């Protein structure tokens, strides 16, 4: 039996490089652009949508932004997007099953006992949500966001967004950012450089969800800083996934309960939904 490779057992010294990580990131974003059309176009044609003239194109753009079923289909496309993203991560990390996944990407607690790690990460997730909520309220007030308009378009949209925010988004995002992207960057530009690059990209990719609410964007920035620092200091990916899951889980619970609390809350101002619904949801992909 041959000696183990220097790569493959240390999540901070991965067997892939920055180039491969960037390609995977771009491919995952490309999925957001193209996959929803496979969901929406058959329905659009069935509803009599045609193309060819500027007027027809404008009508289709309006259809994407306002038709409730179209919005639901675009949100539903997140499932194959996330699954395909996870498959690409698995293929890169394991070289299609030739390397162990968990030890290569750091999907474990390292030297920290599992129960202790779970308690720490749960506490951090709750604390980050509370701090982020205060920041969002102080800096952003009640300014509506495109994501809120998507959520409010129907009960189904609300439940789907809540589901994906917990079931697939934290894992998919962390696999790409703190898993695939961070580790080779750390090897090339050092810990500080990798932290700055990853938290910057993570924050920017979430901006379409929350404009013009600067407060929410700053809260996302805070989350990105915390997650990336945890990845750097802990040296493992799993803690980041748990913290992100707790953060999103609290958000999802609030989304589900919000309609029942509307009589105690002010009605948000309307904003124009984006032409392509998945752009505000792009942050839930990667």
Distance of CA 139 to the CA centre of its chain: 23
Percent of the chain with pLDDT over 70: 88
Cα–Cα distance, 49 to 216 (Å, whole number): 36
Cα–Cα distance, 8 to 278 (Å, whole number): 35
pLDDT tens, position by position, 34-90: 999 899 999 999 998 887 788 888 888 888 888 999 999 999 999 999 999 999 999
Q: What is residue 4's predicted lDDT score, i.e. its pLDDT?
A: 40
Burial class (CB in 10 A: 0-12, 13-18, 19+), 174: buried
Q: What is residue 49's predicted lDDT score, i.e. its pLDDT?
A: 86
- Residue 183 contacts by C-beta under 8 Å, 6 or more apart in sequence? 11, 12, 13, 14, 21, 105, 106
Split at pLDDT 50, 70, 90, the class of 265 is: low
Q: What is the mean pLDDT of residues 131-145?
A: 82
Q: If you ran DSSP here, which 8-state letter would residue 278 be given? A: T
Cα–Cα distance, 119 to 125 (Å, whole number): 10
Q: What is residue 44's predicted lDDT score, i.e. its pLDDT?
A: 92
Cα–Cα distance, 24 to 85 (Å, whole number): 8
Q: What is residue 50's predicted lDDT score, i.e. its pLDDT?
A: 84
Q: Out of 1-15, 170-184, 236-250, which region has the weakest mean confidence (pLDDT)?
A: 1-15
Residue 280 confidence (pLDDT) above 50: no
Split at pLDDT 50, 70, 90, the class of 214 is: confident
Q: What is the mean pLDDT of residues 212-235?
A: 92
pLDDT tens, position by position, 166-197: 999 999 999 999 999 999 999 999 999 999 99
What's this model's pTM, rounded to 2 decimal places? 0.89
pLDDT tens, position by position, 103-125: 999 999 999 999 999 999 999 99
Residue 91 confidence (pLDDT) above 90: yes
Cα–Cα distance, 169 to 209 (Å, whole number): 14
């Amino acid at each position: 039996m041959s000696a183990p490779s220097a790569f493959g057992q240390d999540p901070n010294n991965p067997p892939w490089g920055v180039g491969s990580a960037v390609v995977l990131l771009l491919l995952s974003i490309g999925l957001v652009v193209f996959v929803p059309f496979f969901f929406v176009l058959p329905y659009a044609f069935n509803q009599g949508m045609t193309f060819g003239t500027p007027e027809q194109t404008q009508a289709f753009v309006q259809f994407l932004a306002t038709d409730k079923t179209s919005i639901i289909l675009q949100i539903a496309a997140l499932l194959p997007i996330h699954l395909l993203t996870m498959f690409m991560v698995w293929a890169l990390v394991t070289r299609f099953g030739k390397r162990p996944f968990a030890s290569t990407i750091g999907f474990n607690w390292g030297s920290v006992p599992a129960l202790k790690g779970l308690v720490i990460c749960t506490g951090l997730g709750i604390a980050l949500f509370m701090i982020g909520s205060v920041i969002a309220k102080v800096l952003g007030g009640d300014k509506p966001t495109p994501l809120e308009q998507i959520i409010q378009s129907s009960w189904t949209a609300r439940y789907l967004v809540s589901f994906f925010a917990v079931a697939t988004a934290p894992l998919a995002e962390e696999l790409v950012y703190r898993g695939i992207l961070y580790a080779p960057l750390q090897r090339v530009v050092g810990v500080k450089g990798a932290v700055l690059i990853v938290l910057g990209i993570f924050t920017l990719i979430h901006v379409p969800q929350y404009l013009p609410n600067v407060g929410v964007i700053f809260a996302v920035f805070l989350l990105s800083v915390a997650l990336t620092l945890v990845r750097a200091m802990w040296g493992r990916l799993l803690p980041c996934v748990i913290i992100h899951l707790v953060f999103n889980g609290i958000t999802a619970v609030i989304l589900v309960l919000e309609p029942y609390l509307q009589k105690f809350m002010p009605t948000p101002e309307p904003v124009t939904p984006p032409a392509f619904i998945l752009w505000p949801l792009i942050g839930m992909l990667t």
